[in-house]
């Protein structure tokens, strides 16, 4: 369940007249050409609801078959179209042939961990030694740093590949070059006009890049690098009787995990990567993923929910509150003893992360509600907050207040900040602009997320700058949160067959939201707590007494949770997603 509302009269353009729901959102029907939906259903022989949902997502008849059955052979671009790819491949192929050890420097999030694990596995398959380095979030912060790069150089590494970081690391990469270390950047974060000193910067979001694939996660860019490397090694005769060419598709589970967890648009090549990668993940061929699924209690086939909300948080947990390299190491190894140990440690760290997150979120909410806040941005900063959870807390604040949110953990006069944004208000460029204006020590990101380091005395100026910058994106209109609906359903219509039809549109995620329906004029019969944060409900149709069970995740302590706990017997409208009643753990 996402939201609820009392009965209301109908206003033009608003579903069921809900101008202000329990969560303070306006309900609007997702736009779509009804005739186009009917035509899709008729021509493709799919149910009318599938045709309508496709039309609402802007998928026309020509593109509908490829959307319903995405194939990598149709979507995967030639890697050489990316600037810098040829130079990166040339240097790395030489490293493979010469028996050099390759350094892999990754970010500490899931996108970075999966990218690093993918490259580690590929180079291992080619017989090449690698040295993995994931920086500590608290001690080192985001991205390449000079001491870490120089330590790799002292170990004998001559070439380093940075993944999911490096695009704005000018000083560390210059220091590395001066020390004789060659660096290749594989990234997707927003770039600046001046690129760092490197052998190559492969990033679809370079300002001089014409690639249409700017929505790739870093692990998607890393996969293109692997495709290009494998092709060049094949051409050069590297594979033969003594060395088998690897099946690159075996690692698509890593690509799917990183892509889903980085919340990039699941359209085009990303959709194909996740669709195929989810199939690979279901086989549990990767020992690390299999072990995580076991400790998380996953008993049904893995889908994007599991990737984003069950497995991803556990991979992330080491980087948040434990050892930063645990996730990448788990995904890169086949040693059963090591896998079992790392999976158990990550699961324990994830439980610790939940506790820290809950305390920090409660403190942040209290701070936000006690002080005046801009209608454009939620901003909270405090001493003694753990920097490993501020990104999650920012995401929770964004969900709660329906606007961009930044959370800063202060220590010794320095703040480590993380932000999350809403569609239409790109946060990464605003943070980069703040850094260019001298308000930040470091910072960057992409449209929906950003990270930064700031001196404590500049917090006020930073907040004002971001409010002004983001405010330019909405003009003078107030930021009214909206919840997009795909239609209305009766409880009796909520059948397994309909769920199967809706499943044809999976994988769901950014740019392909899971369909959301309104159940109008139902009665709430029962509501009870599940765990510490969820509410389970029973709904009934007053006309035919048909019943439906639902669960509102993380609703405890929210306006929706209070509404469900206190409402009985009156007609209400409920909005949510239609899923089978399976217990699937959660984050």
47 found inside a domain = no
Write out residues in the chain with pLDDT < 50, as ranges: 8-13, 584-586
**Token reading at 231:** 């092709």
Domain boundary among 313, 347, 381: 347
298 and 380 together in one domain? no
CATH number at residue 270: 3.90.1640.30
113 found inside a domain = yes
The total of structural domains in the chain comes to: 3
143 and 240 together in one domain? yes
100 and 151 together in one domain? yes
pLDDT at position 11, please?
A: 32
Residue 547: beta bridge partners? 540
412 and 505 together in one domain? no
432 and 386 together in one domain? yes
Domain boundaries, position 440 = 371-471
Residue 552: beta bridge partners? 535
Q: How big is the CA angle at 387 (ends 386 and 392), to the nearest 5 degrees?
A: 95
pLDDT at position 203, please?
A: 99
Q: How big is the CA angle at 59 (ends 54 and 65), to the nearest 5 degrees?
A: 85
CATH number at residue 424: 3.10.310.30
From CA 444, how far away is CA 446, in angstroms rounded?
7
pLDDT at position 14, please?
A: 59
Alpha carbon 81 to chain centroid distance? 25
416 found inside a domain = yes
Domain boundary among 471, 504, 529: 471
pLDDT at position 585, please?
A: 46
25 and 83 together in one domain? no
CA distances from 205 to 82, 105, 190, 412, 428 (A): 10, 20, 6, 34, 12
175 found inside a domain = yes
555 found inside a domain = yes
399 and 264 together in one domain? no
114 and 261 together in one domain? yes
264 and 333 together in one domain? yes
278 and 201 together in one domain? yes
324 and 395 together in one domain? no
Q: What is the largest CA-CA distance in the chain?
A: 77
**Token reading at 388:** 């490993």
Domain boundary among 425, 441, 471: 471
Condensed to tens digits (0 to 9), the pLDDT of residues 454-492 reads 999 999 999 999 999 998 866 555 556 788 999 999 999
CATH number at residue 524: 2.40.50
Residue 160 backbone dihedrals phi, psi, to 5 degrees: -125, 135
From CA 75, how far away is CA 428, in angstroms rounded?
27
Condensed to tens digits (0 to 9), the pLDDT of residues 41-94 reads 999 999 999 999 999 999 999 999 999 999 999 999 999 999 999 999 999 999
Residue pair 160/183 in contact by the 8 Å Cβ criterion:
yes
83 and 9 together in one domain? no
């Amino acid at each position: 369940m996402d939201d609820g509302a009392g009965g209301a009269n109908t206003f033009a353009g608003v579903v069921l007249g809900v101008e202000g729901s329990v969560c303070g959102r306006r309900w609007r029907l997702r736009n779509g050409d009804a005739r186009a939906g009917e035509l899709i259903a008729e021509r493709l022989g799919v149910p009318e609801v599938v045709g309508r949902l496709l039309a609402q997502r802007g998928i026309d008849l020509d593109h509908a078959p490829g959307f319903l059955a995405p194939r990598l052979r149709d979507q995967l671009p030639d890697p050489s179209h990316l600037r810098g790819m040829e130079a990166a491949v040339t240097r790395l192929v030489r490293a493979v042939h010469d028996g050099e050890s390759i350094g892999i420097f990754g970010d500490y999030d899931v996108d970075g961990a999966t990218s690093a694990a993918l490259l580690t596995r590929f180079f291992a398959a080619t017989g090449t030694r690698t040295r993995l380095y994931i920086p500590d979030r608290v001690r080192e912060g985001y991205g390449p740093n000079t001491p870490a790069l120089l330590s790799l150089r002292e170990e004998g590494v001559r070439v380093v590949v940075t993944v999911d970081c490096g695009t704005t690391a000018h000083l560390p990469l210059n220091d590395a070059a001066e020390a004789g270390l060659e660096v290749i950047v594989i990234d997707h974060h927003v770039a600046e006009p001046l690129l760092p000193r490197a052998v190559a910067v492969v990033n679809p979001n370079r300002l001089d890049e014409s690639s249409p694939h700017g929505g790739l996660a870093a692990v998607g860019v890393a996969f293109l690098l692997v495709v290009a490397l494998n092709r060049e090694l094949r051409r050069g005769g590297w594979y033969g009787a003594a060395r088998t060419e690897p099946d690159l598709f075996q690692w698509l589970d890593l690509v799917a995990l990183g892509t889903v967890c980085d919340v990039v648009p699941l359209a085009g090549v990303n959709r194909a990567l996740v669709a195929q990668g989810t199939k690979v993940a279901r086989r549990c061929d990767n020992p690390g993923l299999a072990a995580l699924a076991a400790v998380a209690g996953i008993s049904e086939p893995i889908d994007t929910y599991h990737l984003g909300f069950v497995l991803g948080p556990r991979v992330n947990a080491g980087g948040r509150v434990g050892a930063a390299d645990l996730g990448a190491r788990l995904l890169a190894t086949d040693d059963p003893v090591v896998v079992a140990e790392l999976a158990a440690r990550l699961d324990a760290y994830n439980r610790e992360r939940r506790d820290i997150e809950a305390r920090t979120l409660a403190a942040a909410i209290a701070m936000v509600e006690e002080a005046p806040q801009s209608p454009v941005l939620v901003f909270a900063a405090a001493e003694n907050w753990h920097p490993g959870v501020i990104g999650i807390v920012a995401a929770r604040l964004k969900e709660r207040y329906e606007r961009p949110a930044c959370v800063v953990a202060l220590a010794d006069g320095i703040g480590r900040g993380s932000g999350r944004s809403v569609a239409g208000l790109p946060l990464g460029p605003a943070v980069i602009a703040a850094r260019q204006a001298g308000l930040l020590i470091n910072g960057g990101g992409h449209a929906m997320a950003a990270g930064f380091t700031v001196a404590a005395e500049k917090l006020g100026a930073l907040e004002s700058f971001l409010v002004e910058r983001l405010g330019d994106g909405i003009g003078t209109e107030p930021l009214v949160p909206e919840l997009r609906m795909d239609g209305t359903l009766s409880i009796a219509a909520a059948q397994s067959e309909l769920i199967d039809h809706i499943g044809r549109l999976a994988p769901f995620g950014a740019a392909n939201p899971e369909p959301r329906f309104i159940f109008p004029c139902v009665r709430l019969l029962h509501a009870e707590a599940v765990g510490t944060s969820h509410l389970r409900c029973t709904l009934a149709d007053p006309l035919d007494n048909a019943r439906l069970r639902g669960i509102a995740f993380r609703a405890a302590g929210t306006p929706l949770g209070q509404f469900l706990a206190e409402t009985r017997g009156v007609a209400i409208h409920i909005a949510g997603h239609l899923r089978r009643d399976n217990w699937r753990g959660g984050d």
